[in-house]
A and B are shown apart, each in its own frame.
Chain A
Amino acid sequence: GAVVSQHPSRVICKSGTSVKIECRSLDFQATTMFWYRQFPKKSLMLMATSNEGSKATYEQGVEKDKFLINHASLTLSTLTVTSAHPEDSSFYICSASGRAIYEQYFGPGTRLTVT
């Protein structure tokens, strides 16, 4: 299957700083990318959907000014957590979709810890 990478896999940052997480589709063009966050022993919660070249669509309750999503190319989307706080500590996962919805591939996740 296709490969989706995330970088970094783990990051520790201080409260008040910003962190950028990259999601790359390595061998296909991702027209749509999804960003999720997951708390321990909970399911994945969809944060936003982004289509290449357009603004992301955020789920209700997700602050778009805090979680900045950029999908500038068909192989790269970034999630920036701005002014991070300890409650933003979570496992962030992206997925990438090709032209067909059944072409959906998940990244390995990024563990963010805010101290």
Chain B
Amino acid sequence: DAKTTQPNSMESNEEEPVHLPCNHSTISGTDYIHWYRQLPSQGPEYVIHGLTSNVNNRMASLAIAEDRKSSTLILHRATLRDAAVYYCILASPNDMRFGAGTRLTVKP
């Protein structure tokens, strides 16, 4: 069973920021928080990961709550190519289960 909860879908306008939430109240001390996204008929693409501190990379930012029970993926300026299903996953060495994910629609 997935250990994360995400909204089924979200919409954004092009060039606006998007905040994708994820709840993971049962996170353990050694779980990493990973985000992936998937386009139709493709394998998931790595977006970002973190453990305790907020993280930034060229694709996105990851804001992690102080108690680590939730996190938010931030796309600073959504583009049409960012339309995908976004998955938040709690990762441990032998466990990489996907939840239902959030389908992000970006409107021009």
- Whether B15 sits at the interface, judged by CB under 8 Å, is no
Cβ–Cβ contact A104 & B91, under 8 A? yes
Q: Report yes or no: A32 in contact with B93, Cβ–Cβ below 8 A.
A: yes
Q: Does A67 contact B (CB under 8 A)?
A: no
Interface residues of A (CB under 8 A from B): 1, 4, 6, 32, 34, 36, 43-46, 49, 51, 57, 91, 93, 95, 97, 101-102, 104-109, 111
List, in ascending order, chain A residues with CB within 8 A of B32's CB: 101-102
Main secondary structure on A side of the interface with B: strand
**B43/A43 in contact, CB under 8 A:** no
CB–CB A44/B98 < 8 A: yes
The reply to whether B43 and A104 form a contact with Cβ atoms under 8 Å apart is no
Q: Which of A4, A43, A101 contacts B98 (CB 8 A)?
A: A43
- B24 lies within 8 A of chain A by Cβ: no
